[in-house]
Chain A
Amino acid sequence: MQFMLLFSRQGKLRLQKWYVPLSDKERKKISRDLVQTILARKPKMCSFLEWRDLKIVYKRYASLYFCCAVEDQDNELITLEIIHRYVELLDKYFGSVCELDIIFNFEKAYFILDEFLLGGEAQETSKKNVLKAIEQADLLQEVCGLCPR
């Protein structure tokens, strides 16, 4: 996977994760282009998109669009399921996730993503294991928060 973007129906970026080295300017251009293209598509249309030499896989959950860029030989359907699994993870973690959760706790959303995908590849596909890893780290935070240093 080359990158993942989350944006709202209004075109506001909520999360961005880049797995290939790109300059700031390129990143901005790509996300602007993609947000525009995807928002212009009708709901019944294909979830896949050819864009430059990449394949874009996107899906809308409520007011949020999740969008991944993969290479042409990659499997589009499984990418769609990666998105779905990520949403499931968020849902489980936040407890019935909504856009606001992700807006206000975006760093948490990033932590979950990092436990699930690493360097653009699925790292751990077991839901239980991902959440366990996150819980442990969170727990440590609480412990540190309790005892003054």
Chain B
Amino acid sequence: MSDVVEKTLSALPSLLSLDSQAGAGKLSPSSKLGNLIKGITELTSKHEEEKLIKKELESIKEQVASPNTTMRQMKEIMVRAIYCEMLGYQASFSYIHAIKLAQQGSVLEKRVGYLAVSLFLNETDEFLLLLVNTVLKDLQSTNLIEVCMALTVVSQMFPKDMIPAILPVVEEKLTHPKEIIRRKAVLALYKFYLIAPNQVQHIHSKFRKALCDKDPGVMTASLHIYLQLIKENPESYKDLTGSMVTILRQVVGGKLPLDFNYHSVPAPWLQIQLLRILAYLGKEDQGTSEMMYDVLEESLRRAEMNHNITYAILFECVKTIYTVHPKSQLLEKAAECIGNFVLSPKINLKYLGLKALTYVVQQDANLALPHQMTIIECLDHSDVIIKRETLELLFRITNAQNVTVIVEKMLEFLRLTCDDYSTIDLVGKVAELAEKYAPDNVWFIQTMNSVFSLGGDVMQPDIPNNFLRLLAEGVDNVEDRQLRLFAVDSYVSLLQGVTAKLPQRFLQVISWVLGEYSYLREEESDPGSVMRLLARLLDQRHTSTETRSWVLGAMTKLCSSPVSVALARDVCERYSGSLNTVLRQKAQELMILSQDTKLRARVLPAEGRLESLEVDSSLSFLDGYVSEALAAGAAPYKSPHQRQEDLVQEKALSLEPYGLSLPVSLSSCSITDRLTDRRSPTLLSMSSGLSGNSTELSHQEGSTTLKLEGVKRVWGKDGYLAQQQSAGETPTPLVELPNPLLSPQSPPSQTQKPSSGLEPDQEKRQLASSLFVGLGSHNSVCLMGRAETAPRHFRRKPRGESSSGASEGSSNSSHSSRSAAVDNLLLSNLLDSTTVASEGGAATTTTPQQTSQRTLDHTTSNGNPHVEGTEQRVEAGGPLSLIRGNGMVAVVPPTHTQTDPQTQQDLHPAPALERPRDLPLASHLPAELSGLARSEFTPLCSDQDSSLALSACRVYKEDALVLLVFISNNNDSALHQMVLQLTCKELEISCISGSPLKEVKGHSVSVCLHTVVMKRASVQVELAGLLSYQRPLGQPQAAQFSLSLSLKHFLRPLTVSTGDYGKMWLSFSHDLKQNLRLVTTEHQEPLTATLDALKGKLHLHVVDIIGSEGIVACRLLQGPGQGQPCLLHCRVNADSLAVWLRSPVPELPDSLLYHCQKALTET
């Protein structure tokens, strides 16, 4: 049918087509749009334009609302509405009419309707839902043009949740006879892949077909998908390398139709796409890289013509050559290419040359050497972007010897720029360099002063945080004292000058440092001087309230001498009446502490060691107060998180009767997740890199307030951190400090290599020698510039995840670091109540192992867990979350382990014995885990002589996945300084090893235990691990490995009654429907067989089976005692199974469905 239409079209006289084209170009001044545009051009002021457009919009509004307006008029109106919107005037009333036009108009009107929709709306708009049916209808139309239009709009925007509705139809189009339809269908699927990857998982084989399409356009389109897929997971697509290389060879060899040539270069877009794909495939993979060397060389050779497009290909080629496994011959040619770029008189090419250099100097800093003079010239270039890129390049080649010059150049740029974005970026880089390579104290403090004054209040908050931590953490030797003293001196002199221009953040840093370390200079000056400076600061109008509270905090630490006390009293009088409660409290504290010297000495000891701080972690001194309050009828404490949850629940309309307690939280997270889900990358992301371990409060406030990190972090989400910290500490390599006197002057002879033909003046030569010092043959050890082994004067002690601290904002952070510990504990204790609570209120804390021991006991004593009452089960599912944060109620019902028969079988120790391969390692399983269901042992990695081997095993505990890493030492010598780090941003990993792992004796095996839960549901995650160790008399070594964990490892059965299931079903908002394959066996009903298969493979719980319907429930582990439920409703439809999934979290149904599909196809 569509062919018929096509033929009709092509049979039409060509004269007509010419006419239409010519006519299209010329405007029709009589049209209403023409009049409008003319009217606007004749106007002279913005005000007049506003008036005119307003009038126009009024008339449009009137017309669209009128029932007499035909679709044809509507089309014309819509064009005018688009024009008004483009001028920046809102015409939102017309959106709905745009949809109507797309729905009801004839082809030509539809086209405008779709265009208006794609311009007016974006994919989050609810209006789009109204378009779904229209799109579906047009996709099935016999008219090619209509199908094209529908596919065009779908590839631009489509509501994520409605994808399943049109997916089958779009999929069908992949086999359409017309290439334009196939091409657009591929791009539509690409779009779907971007917004909901799991939903197109099952059509990957069809993508391959598209890749082999006979039409080059369709093939090119499919590369978009492959670029994305390969970028995310190169390992799975290595087999495509050969095809990609062949395609590229054909393209480069000019085998494509001439239509695809662009300025006589064959299909440049395709070439670049392929080069990018090859870069991902060949990265860190010698074998794959070797396959592509030839074609890369050919690309380099062919792209010789002097045109922009060939430069584009060359640039991409160079990038690929430097990304894949290196081949010296190619590298040489690529370096030559970069040279041509850098030396080019065309500014665009010069810029790209710098960009390429920035990229490649990370591998070989020497590559910058031949271009010294060009780089110096670019530093003073009139175009900011060139300057900026040059600084980026210099940043990459910084070492201990050229740091001062480079930082000076960066600061120079910073002083001139007024763009917030580059300020934030550069300030961070300067701080990083200063911390890494500072030659001496004076320079470091001065540089940081510039950073704070220039970075002002836009810089990332972790810059001041790190700086203060660095000051506070130092071992108390002479050098650290000097650093602190110098900081104090420099701040005093700053405060003596004009302070009006100093940013608030800087003033806060100054106050804290003065408060802490002024005593270092006390002997040489009069005691009240610092206090007076602070008081002056306090009085200045431009000082913000937050800064004032920092100043007051500092004063509290300083009021020791009589002069200061008098001053403090003065200040107190003024601020104890302040309207701001924080200030008032600070003033009160100052008042009391300044009068009571004894108390002050106890609360704020001047020479107090941070480490020696002892804290009553159980807050037992408050017990009396709390029990009194409770007796008097006060409500038990709820954590802020829980309060917020309650609030959310209250706000939502509850149609259900009370009394149902879900084992999970319908938390606000799902809502915020949705909002932040697809945030635009252009939004300035200002949030600081808070560690995952930080507390709720720090998440809320961390981004704007300074955090003080004087305190060793003792408590975290998982309890006492001491063990984990010592385990997380990496051995700090002993580094020699560069001699600051010698370093900036190294032999100039090696660095003077000005490019020929240039006669640079003396000044530039000098600059070059100071910039490029340290690069060159004599110094090959630190060629990488930023290599980890570079000497780091100011390197912070590794502290694991301890970056979060007392971050309760100004209310406590301006206290001395010592007193902040109390607040810190207040916070973390709430999160720790789970551990304290589990033993019936007894004061002992329970280690996770003990808990699991108990869990195990229950399992074994429970003959058939399935008989248990549902109510009890629901409770048992979430006891910890009920208690969480309560702090007072400490009785927890013992956790009943619920395992389905499949796992139950695995529980017997017998199967473990049947796997002889596992035997040696199985004996190392900790006793408390040996009875639980577990996976086989997976070898992770081993070194060349297999003296060290790592393997992993997963143990499926009821409340977490326990990951065991076995470290087998097959050598005689022991391993020392062992540190195992596991990282994965999608997972929450916590170490539960009984004792920190330090060494493994010869011929023995050690086990590291980690509990792992998913932060967010995803189909599969990659966990990266790094084991560093040292043999006696050997260098420190490291072994890397990765391990993939799938969603199904984190699923546990959720036992609910049919009634509760019904209630939960209604309350969950995210759902997904899909047809699945039915499993057929001889002796079972298809439904039962299918559900059994799912149950066995995915640990689901089959709640009930009624006739041709079955209901199934499971939960996804998420934090101790928490879980996100997912409910499945299955119904047999002819020969397929219609599954309907619902969950409170948006990602879960998606990912679970994928695993269901997989489980059933495997059966």
- A-side residues, CB < 8 A to B, are 2, 12-24, 26, 28, 30, 42, 44-54, 69, 71, 75-78, 80-81, 85, 93-95, 100-101, 103-108, 110-111, 114, 118-119, 121-129, 133, 135-145, 149
Residue of B nearest to A51 (CB): B421
With A52-B682, A142-B19 given, is the CB distance from A21 to B157 under 8 Å? yes
Residue of B nearest to A131 (CB): B21
A22, A78, A100, A105: which contacts B24 (Cβ < 8 A)?
A: A105
Asked whether, in the complex, the Cβ of A119 is within 8 Å of the Cβ of B351, the reply is no
Asked whether, in the complex, the Cβ of B308 is within 8 Å of the Cβ of A81, the reply is yes
- On chain B, the residues within 8 Å of A49 by CB distance are 385
CB of A122, distance to nearest CB on chain B (Å): 5
Asked whether, in the complex, the Cβ of A139 is within 8 Å of the Cβ of B20, the reply is yes
The distance in angstroms between the C-alpha atoms of A118 and B189, with both chains bound, is 12
The distance in angstroms between the C-alpha atoms of A105 and B122, with both chains bound, is 23
11 contacts between A and B (CB under 8 A): A2-B682, A21-B157, A51-B421, A75-B316, A77-B352, A105-B24, A106-B86, A110-B115, A121-B224, A129-B180, A139-B17
Asked whether, in the complex, the Cβ of B183 is within 8 Å of the Cβ of A123, the reply is yes
B309, B352, B421: which contacts A81 (Cβ < 8 A)?
A: B309
Asked whether, in the complex, the Cβ of B145 is within 8 Å of the Cβ of A136, the reply is yes
B21, B33, B268: which contacts A78 (Cβ < 8 A)?
A: B268
Q: Which of B259-267, B896-904, B1045-1053, B1061-1069 contacts A (4 or more CB under 8 A)?
A: B259-267
With A50-B388, A100-B27, A106-B86 given, is the CB distance from A111 to B678 under 8 Å? no
Cβ of B1032 under 8 Å from chain A: no
The distance in angstroms between the C-alpha atoms of A69 and B682, with both chains bound, is 10
CB of A116, distance to nearest CB on chain B (Å): 11
Cβ of B107 under 8 Å from chain A: yes
Cβ of B905 under 8 Å from chain A: no
Asked whether, in the complex, the Cβ of B312 is within 8 Å of the Cβ of A81, the reply is yes
Asked whether, in the complex, the Cβ of B25 is within 8 Å of the Cβ of A125, the reply is no
The distance in angstroms between the C-alpha atoms of A107 and B112, with both chains bound, is 8
- B-side residues, CB < 8 A to A, are 9, 12, 16-17, 19-22, 24-25, 27-28, 33-34, 37, 79, 82-83, 86-88, 90, 106-108, 111-112, 115, 118-119, 122-124, 144-145, 148-149, 152, 155-157, 180, 183-184, 187, 190-191, 217, 220-221, 224, 257, 259-260, 262, 267-270, 272, 308-309, 311-312, 315-316, 347-348, 350-352, 382-383, 385-386, 388, 421-422, 678, 680-684
Residue of A nearest to B154 (CB): A119
The distance in angstroms between the C-alpha atoms of A71 and B385, with both chains bound, is 16
Asked whether, in the complex, the Cβ of B37 is within 8 Å of the Cβ of A103, the reply is yes
With A78-B269, A123-B183 given, is the CB distance from A48 to B351 under 8 Å? yes
Asked whether, in the complex, the Cβ of B21 is within 8 Å of the Cβ of A93, the reply is yes
Asked whether, in the complex, the Cβ of A106 is within 8 Å of the Cβ of B309, the reply is no
With A45-B347, A94-B24 given, is the CB distance from A143 to B12 under 8 Å? yes
CB of B379, distance to nearest CB on chain A (Å): 15
A50, A93, A94: which contacts B385 (Cβ < 8 A)?
A: A50
CB of A137, distance to nearest CB on chain B (Å): 5
CB of A120, distance to nearest CB on chain B (Å): 9
With A118-B155, A119-B155, A121-B187 given, is the CB distance from A108 to B388 under 8 Å? no
Residue of A nearest to B314 (CB): A77
The distance in angstroms between the C-alpha atoms of A49 and B268, with both chains bound, is 23
CB of B497, distance to nearest CB on chain A (Å): 35
CB of A16, distance to nearest CB on chain B (Å): 6
The distance in angstroms between the C-alpha atoms of A94 and B217, with both chains bound, is 24
B37, B184, B350, B680: which contacts A104 (Cβ < 8 A)?
A: B37
CB of A7, distance to nearest CB on chain B (Å): 10
- On chain A, the residues within 8 Å of B260 by CB distance are 125-126
Asked whether, in the complex, the Cβ of B16 is within 8 Å of the Cβ of A142, the reply is yes
CB of B921, distance to nearest CB on chain A (Å): 43
CB of B322, distance to nearest CB on chain A (Å): 13
The distance in angstroms between the C-alpha atoms of A52 and B17, with both chains bound, is 45
Asked whether, in the complex, the Cβ of A105 is within 8 Å of the Cβ of B27, the reply is yes
Asked whether, in the complex, the Cβ of B348 is within 8 Å of the Cβ of A119, the reply is no
Asked whether, in the complex, the Cβ of B269 is within 8 Å of the Cβ of A125, the reply is yes
The distance in angstroms between the C-alpha atoms of A71 and B9, with both chains bound, is 40
- On chain A, the residues within 8 Å of B157 by CB distance are 21
- On chain A, the residues within 8 Å of B155 by CB distance are 118-119
Asked whether, in the complex, the Cβ of A144 is within 8 Å of the Cβ of B269, the reply is no
- On chain B, the residues within 8 Å of A77 by CB distance are 308-309, 311-312, 315, 348, 352
B17, B269, B684: which contacts A122 (Cβ < 8 A)?
A: B269
A80, A101, A140, A144: which contacts B25 (Cβ < 8 A)?
A: A101
Additional A-B contacts beyond A101-B25, A111-B115, A137-B145 (20; CB < 8 A): A2-B681, A23-B122, A30-B682, A44-B347, A45-B347, A45-B383, A46-B351, A48-B351, A52-B421, A78-B312, A118-B156, A119-B156, A121-B224, A123-B187, A125-B268, A129-B217, A129-B259, A133-B148, A139-B16, A144-B108
The distance in angstroms between the C-alpha atoms of A44 and B345, with both chains bound, is 11
- On chain A, the residues within 8 Å of B191 by CB distance are 119
With A118-B156, A124-B217, A145-B108 given, is the CB distance from A13 to B88 under 8 Å? yes
The distance in angstroms between the C-alpha atoms of A78 and B259, with both chains bound, is 18
- On chain A, the residues within 8 Å of B22 by CB distance are 95
Asked whether, in the complex, the Cβ of B86 is within 8 Å of the Cβ of A16, the reply is yes
CB of A65, distance to nearest CB on chain B (Å): 15
With A54-B682, A75-B315, A133-B180 given, is the CB distance from A94 to B112 under 8 Å? no
With A104-B34, A128-B259, A129-B217 given, is the CB distance from A53 to B421 under 8 Å? yes
- On chain A, the residues within 8 Å of B388 by CB distance are 50
The distance in angstroms between the C-alpha atoms of A149 and B696, with both chains bound, is 65
CB of A25, distance to nearest CB on chain B (Å): 11
The distance in angstroms between the C-alpha atoms of A108 and B16, with both chains bound, is 18
- On chain B, the residues within 8 Å of A28 by CB distance are 88
CB of A108, distance to nearest CB on chain B (Å): 6
- On chain B, the residues within 8 Å of A45 by CB distance are 347, 382-383, 385
B111, B183, B259, B678: which contacts A127 (Cβ < 8 A)?
A: B259
- On chain A, the residues within 8 Å of B315 by CB distance are 75, 77
With A46-B385, A137-B145 given, is the CB distance from A53 to B682 under 8 Å? yes
The distance in angstroms between the C-alpha atoms of A24 and B267, with both chains bound, is 36
CB of B1125, distance to nearest CB on chain A (Å): 30
Asked whether, in the complex, the Cβ of B25 is within 8 Å of the Cβ of A105, the reply is yes
- On chain A, the residues within 8 Å of B17 by CB distance are 135, 138-139, 142
Asked whether, in the complex, the Cβ of A85 is within 8 Å of the Cβ of B259, the reply is no
With A21-B124, A71-B681 given, is the CB distance from A114 to B25 under 8 Å? no
Asked whether, in the complex, the Cβ of A140 is within 8 Å of the Cβ of B9, the reply is yes
The distance in angstroms between the C-alpha atoms of A5 and B156, with both chains bound, is 16
B25, B33, B83, B145: which contacts A94 (Cβ < 8 A)?
A: B25
- On chain A, the residues within 8 Å of B190 by CB distance are 119, 121
The distance in angstroms between the C-alpha atoms of A93 and B23, with both chains bound, is 11
Asked whether, in the complex, the Cβ of A46 is within 8 Å of the Cβ of B386, the reply is yes
Give the residue among B119, B386, B422 with the most A Cβ atoms within 10 A.
B119
The distance in angstroms between the C-alpha atoms of A97 and B358, with both chains bound, is 40
Asked whether, in the complex, the Cβ of A140 is within 8 Å of the Cβ of B86, the reply is no
Asked whether, in the complex, the Cβ of A13 is within 8 Å of the Cβ of B383, the reply is no
